[in-house]
Amino acid sequence: MAATQLTASPVTVSARSLASLRASSARFGTLKPGTLKQSQFRSLVVRAASVVAPKYTSIKPLGDRVLVKIKEAEEKTMGGILLPSTAQSKPQGGEVVAVGEGRTIGKTKIDIDVPTGAQIIYSKYAGTEVEFNDVQHLILKEDDIVGLLETEDIKDLKPLNDRVFIKVAEAEEKTAGGLLLTETTKEKPSIGTVIAVGPGSLDEEGKRQPLSISTGSTVLYSKYAGNDFKGKDGSNYIALRASDVMAILS
* CB of 226 closer than 8 Å to CB of 237: no
Sheet holding 65-70, edge to edge: 50-51, 128-132, 135-141, 65-70, 93-99, 119-122, 145-148, 158-159
Give the pLDDT of residue 174: 53
Tell me if 142 sits within 8 A of 113, measured CB to CB: yes
- What pLDDT, on a 0 to 100 scale, did the predictor assign at position 72? 84
Per-residue pLDDT of the chain (250 residues; tens, 9 = 90+): 444 433 344 444 444 444 544 544 444 444 455 544 444 444 444 446 799 999 999 999 999 999 999 998 754 555 555 544 444 355 699 999 999 999 999 889 999 999 999 999 999 889 999 999 999 999 999 999 999 999 989 999 999 999 999 999 986 555 556 555 455 544 566 999 999 999 999 998 889 999 999 999 999 999 889 999 999 889 999 999 999 999 999 9
Specify which residues 111 forms β-bridges with: none
Contact 174, 180 (CB under 8 A): yes
Query: Facing residues of 245 across strands?
Result: 221
pTM of the model: 0.70
Q: What pLDDT is stored for residue 26 in this prediction?
A: 46
Q: What's the pLDDT at 160? A: 96
Which CA distances in Å does 134 have to 54, 60, 69, 109, 122?
9, 17, 11, 35, 21
